[in-house]
Structures are given as C-alpha cells and as structure tokens.
Amino acid sequence: MLFPGPPDHTTEISPPPTTPFHSLLLKREMPGLDALRGIAVLAVVMYHGLYWWLPPSKSISRAARLQSMLASPGWLGVNLFFVLSGFLITGILLESRGSSNYWRSFYTRRALRILPLYLVVLLILRFYSHLDWTYLLFCLLYLANFTDGLRGEHYGALWTLAVEEQFYLVWPFLVRRFQTGTLAIFCLGSILVSPWLRYLSASRVLPLGDPHTATWLITDNLAGGALIAIFLRMPGVTLRRVRSLTLWTGLLGAGLLAAGFRFDLLSRTTAVGAAFQPEPFIFLFTALLLLALEFGDHALVYRLTRPLRFYGYISYGLYLFHLLGFKAYQDLFVDFHRVSAELTLGGVFLRFGGVLAVATAVCFLSRRYFEEFFLRLKDRLVPYIAPAGRLP
C-alpha cells in the first residue's frame, strides 16, 4: 500500500486464501481497494493543490475562497490510506505468518516496493529543492514525522511513510507472536485508547508528541483496517455478518460525525477536537472498505470506477511527486512574474489541472517502466513459502 502505502499505497497480492469464505471477499485481485486508493490520493492532491499550497497573491476572490474551503477536507485521504494499509499489511502478515521466510519475505518485498522511488524523491529534494541534509537524513531513516524542530523547509508528503515504516517494525512481530483473537484485542484497544492519548498530549497534560503525526498516537487509523483483516479471517464469519458489521460500523461513524458537528469536536484548534476528530472517519472508512470488498468487482461498479482504479495504480508515485509538481509550477510561472492582484477560481483550477496532468503522466511512466521492474523482483527473490497445514 500507500499515505500506509502510503505510505505504501499499493496493494500487495497476498497468498491465496485458505478458507472457502475468504474467496468471497479476499481475492487475489481486489479492484474496489484500487478505487479507494485512487479516491485517497486524489483527495490529498486536491487538498494540497486547491487549499494548502495556493499561488501567492494580494487577495483571493470569493469563488476561489469557496473552492478552497470545499477542498480542505482532502486531508482525510491520508486517514483512508492508513486504514487501507492496516488492512492490506495485516492480511499479508496473517496469510504468511506460518512461512519459514516470514521476516525476509515481508521486509524485502516492502523495500522493493517503497525504497526505489523514495530514494529518487530524496535526491530530487536535495538537488532541486535544496532541502537540508539533516532533514533528508531523518527522512532516509523514516523519521520525517519527528522533524518539526528542524530548521528549513520540509516536504509534507514524507511523514506518512515514516508512520507506516515505524508500524512495520512492530506489527509483524505482534502478528507472528500472538493468536488472532489477541491481535483483535490489540486493535480494539488502540481504537479506544489512542483518542485519549491524543487528548492528553494536545492538552499538554502528558506530552506524548504531536497528536497528528506521532505514530503511537495515530495507530487507531491503522488498527481500524487491521481489525477488518482479522475479522474476515475468523472462523464462522459469513457474508451476512460482514454486511451487518458494515451497516453498524457505518452508522457508528455517521453518529459520531453528527455528534462532532453538534458539539464542535471536529476542529483541531481544541484539545478535544485534536483528539477525537479522526474517530468518525475511521469507522466510516472501515465501512467503505467492506463495501469496496463486496461490490468492487461487480460489473457496473468496475466500469464506473475505472478512472479511480487508474489513479490507484499510480497512487504511490503521485503521492510522492505531486507537491514537487506544485513547486515546479510556482518556480516556472509565478516567480518570473509579479504577484497577481487577485487569485481567481480560473487561475487556481488552471494551475491544478496542469500540475495534475503532468504529474499523472510522469507517475504512469514511473510505475510502468521503473517501479514495475522492482515489483517483478519480489517473486523472484522472495517467493512466499506456503506454511504446512492451515494458518494459525
């Protein structure tokens, strides 16, 4: 995957399911998840391009201000990436934890998926954006979510990969060591405890780190997806129970979202908002994940989601490169002219559309002719070794 991978934002094909029910939802190809990944990356690109990184101007038109406000929830694409990553990575680990090459297979495959393009981006950031070596060293060690105290410019797309890599250091050990029921308890505990830890940190009662980027404070996003992966592999799970879980999870998320609007819990400006803002969306995204698994390969849905699945296909590259695209646009077309008197809606969309088109082409070529080379190496270097008997 992608943000976890975003993050690793690319579906890793797990070994074949081991029980009859798995084949209903957990297939070797899950196009619904590709569509969700496309939604997630486009949301993030719109957030950065239409809200977070607007061209400099002396004023902004009313229409441009309105579209900026509408694009502001695009940051939720990162949360969706985390839920997807928790689901996919946990599924891979559960299906292979009885294998003799469990550790080597997992980490080698992750490295082949993430590192090649990541290193290219770091080189570009150094020699084009001239980012400080200290910051890039933190990024190379996947510590970009702990660089707020460093001077100089940062590259906003890298902190999520750091979160996911730190997750990869701990979660494979837990999956290998503990039974499925215990893992489910860990996930439920994270979903229940993480908001309160964020509250303690945001209110400065107990400084535990940035409530939005510290890995141990945002594991409930990853745990939501992981819990679905565990649930679908439990004995006695039926399609009826899956649909029931989808309904109740969606209703819970909608109820929490309504309560958040009613009691002003969705603003990060307060400790309560910083702590509980993600919770409704975690439940909504897990329900959306279940819907994507069930209906993603239906003929009509499959046809309608083709553009989203394409962006899911290039999502890792687009997530890494899109901010560089907006910077390049600014360097080419803005810095050579005086700051415009007013930022208009047409100007914003012209910029956004141009950057998205070029970034889409570049990332497609990257996926087809660069990333695919390393993806093909995974099965050559570290093929899955099927465990003897049923997985625990």
pLDDT digits (tens, 9 = 90+) for 64-89: 889 889 999 999 999 999 999 999 99
| Separation between Cα atoms, residue 195 and residue 272, nearest integer Å | 9
- What are the tokens at 99? 């294998």
From residue 60, give the alpha-carbon distance in Å to each of 69, 72, 328, 334, 386.
12, 16, 22, 16, 59
- Total residues belonging to the chain: 392
pLDDT at position 176 is 95
pLDDT band with cut points at 50, 70 and 90 for residue 330:
confident
- Average pLDDT score, the chain: 88
Instruction: Tell whether the model's pLDDT for residue 46 goes beyond 70.
Output: yes
Instruction: Tell whether the model's pLDDT for residue 13 goes beyond 70.
Output: no
pLDDT band with cut points at 50, 70 and 90 for residue 22:
low
Q: Is there a contact between 38 and 120 (Cβ–Cβ < 8 Å)? A: no
Nearest to 10 by CA among 320, 288, 221: 320
Instruction: Tell whether the model's pLDDT for residue 185 goes beyond 60.
Output: yes
Instruction: Tell whether the model's pLDDT for residue 3 goes beyond 50.
Output: no
pLDDT at position 219 is 95
- What are the tokens at 182? 């215990």
pLDDT band with cut points at 50, 70 and 90 for residue 19:
very low
| Separation between Cα atoms, residue 291 and residue 305, nearest integer Å | 14
Residues 6+ apart with CB under 8 A from 208: 197, 200, 201, 214, 216, 217
pLDDT at position 383 is 80
- What are the tokens at 65? 């201000």
- What are the tokens at 168? 């990869």
Instruction: Tell whether the model's pLDDT for residue 306 goes beyond 80.
Output: yes
Instruction: Tell whether the model's pLDDT for residue 392 goes beyond 60.
Output: no
Kindly state the average pLDDT of the residues 226-230. 96
pLDDT at position 338 is 57
By CB neighbour count within 10 A (0-12 exposed, 13-18 middle, 19+ buried), where does 55 fall?
middle
Domain boundaries of the chain, sorted by first residue:
22-381
From residue 269, give the alpha-carbon distance in Å to each of 147, 265, 272, 278, 353.
21, 10, 9, 14, 32
Specify the DSSP element, H or E, that contains 242. Answer: helix 239-262
Lowest mean pLDDT among 150-159, 264-273, 374-383: 264-273
From residue 256, give the alpha-carbon distance in Å to each of 42, 98, 180, 381.
25, 39, 28, 46
- The better pLDDT of the pair 21, 75 is held by 75
From residue 80, give the alpha-carbon distance in Å to each of 178, 278, 286, 319.
26, 10, 9, 13
SS3 percent helix, strand, coil of the chain, rounded to 5, is: 70, 0, 30
pLDDT digits (tens, 9 = 90+) for 149-171: 788 889 999 999 999 999 999 99
pLDDT at position 9 is 41
- Residue type at position 136: L
pLDDT at position 54 is 80
Q: Is there a contact between 264 and 270 (Cβ–Cβ < 8 Å)? A: yes
Lowest mean pLDDT among 184-188, 334-338, 376-380: 334-338
pLDDT at position 263 is 79
Kindly state the average pLDDT of the residues 122-141. 94
| Separation between Cα atoms, residue 230 and residue 227, nearest integer Å | 5
9: three-class secondary structure by DSSP: strand
pLDDT at position 18 is 43
pLDDT at position 128 is 93
Q: Is there a contact between 325 and 359 (Cβ–Cβ < 8 Å)? A: yes
Specify the DSSP element, H or E, that contains 170. Answer: helix 159-177
Kindly state the average pLDDT of the residues 46-72. 86
Lowest mean pLDDT among 95-99, 103-107, 363-367: 95-99
The DSSP annotation for 181-230 comes to: HHHHHHHHHHHHHHHHHHHHHHTTSS--S-TTT-GGGSHHHHHHHHHHHH
Kindly state the average pLDDT of the residues 252-278. 88
pLDDT band with cut points at 50, 70 and 90 for residue 371:
very high
From residue 38, give the alpha-carbon distance in Å to each of 145, 221, 278, 282, 379.
24, 18, 20, 18, 25
pLDDT at position 337 is 52
Nearest to 314 by CA among 368, 390, 256: 368
pLDDT band with cut points at 50, 70 and 90 for residue 334:
low
Q: Is there a contact between 325 and 352 (Cβ–Cβ < 8 Å)? A: no
pLDDT band with cut points at 50, 70 and 90 for residue 23:
low
What percentage of the chain has pLDDT greater than the value 70?
90
- The better pLDDT of the pair 352, 382 is held by 352
Instruction: Tell whether the model's pLDDT for residue 62 goes beyond 60.
Output: yes
